[in-house]
């Protein structure tokens, strides 16, 4: 039987929770073992799928192009994404897109410790494209649903290993993420109501 590595499911997450996912780990000592970010609601994420409004792009590279994109979710929270020579397709999208634009981003969570000890979380994109508002709205609804499911599992009496790990690694109220999910849904409903 071949041991072809399968791609990890890309987790849907709002920026509020993603930016709090500062703990990363590997499940084996193999150099090529995937690196996971631990979401504070107790799910591991090797890849994420986010959709938001690309509000700004900037080439922050010194010697070669290295593009930063700011993608804002419906709550006004920001995902930072960085693409350079190793992500040529994503880098060229960030170079060519004219914000504001709805974009879906699939990529890997990356953490970076600053000089003062803070940990910043960003996405190293595998793909970036553009979508319409209806697609963004569907992502918001599905991401809210997944977030609520994770919170339920987090509060379960017999948590799995990742939930236990989240309890140990984070001292963050998961209620914050429930509020982010509810707020995102409310923003959608308000936008729909004002469009009618």
Query: What integer pLDDT is reported at residue 6 of this predicted model?
Result: 64
> Domain for residue 17, yes or no?
yes
> Domain for residue 4, yes or no?
no
* Domain count across the chain: 1
> Domain for residue 132, yes or no?
yes
Work out the mean pLDDT of the chain and round it to a whole number.
Answer: 93
> Domain for residue 3, yes or no?
no
CA angle 100, 142, 136 (to 5 degrees): 20
Query: What integer pLDDT is reported at residue 158 of this predicted model?
Result: 85
CATH of the domain at 94: 2.40.50.140
> Domain for residue 146, yes or no?
yes
For 147-196, write each residue's pLDDT tens digit. 999 999 999 888 899 999 999 999 989 999 999 999 999 988 888 788 77
> Domain for residue 69, yes or no?
yes
Low-confidence ranges of the chain (pLDDT < 70): 1-6
> Domain for residue 55, yes or no?
yes
**In the structure encoding, which two tokens stand for residue 53, read together?**
């409004």
The boundaries of the domain holding residue 48 are 10-191
**What whole-number distance in Å separates Cα of residue 84 and Cα of residue 19?**
21
């Amino acid at each position: 039987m071949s041991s072809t590595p399968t791609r990890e499911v890309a987790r849907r997450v709002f920026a509020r929770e993603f930016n709090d996912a500062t703990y990363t780990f590997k499940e084996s000592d193999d150099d090529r073992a995937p690196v996971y970010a631990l979401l504070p609601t107790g799910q591991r994420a090797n890849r994420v799928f986010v959709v938001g409004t690309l509000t700004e792009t900037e080439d922050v590279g010194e010697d070669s192009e290295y593009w930063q994109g700011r993608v804002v979710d419906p709550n006004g929270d920001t995902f930072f994404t960085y693409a350079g020579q190793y992500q040529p397709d994503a880098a060229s999208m960030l170079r060519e897109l004219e914000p504001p634009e709805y974009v879906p981003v699939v990529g890997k969570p990356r953490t970076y410790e600053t000089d003062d000890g803070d940990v910043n979380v960003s996405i190293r994109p595998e793909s970036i494209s553009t979508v319409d508002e209806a697609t963004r709205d569907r992502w918001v609804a599905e991401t809210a649903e997944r977030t609520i499911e994770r919170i339920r599992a987090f509060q379960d009496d017999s948590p799995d290993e990742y939930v236990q790990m989240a309890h140990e690694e984070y001292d963050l109220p998961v209620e914050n993420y429930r509020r982010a999910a509810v707020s995102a849904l409310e923003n959608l409903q308000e936008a729909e109501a004002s469009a009618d």
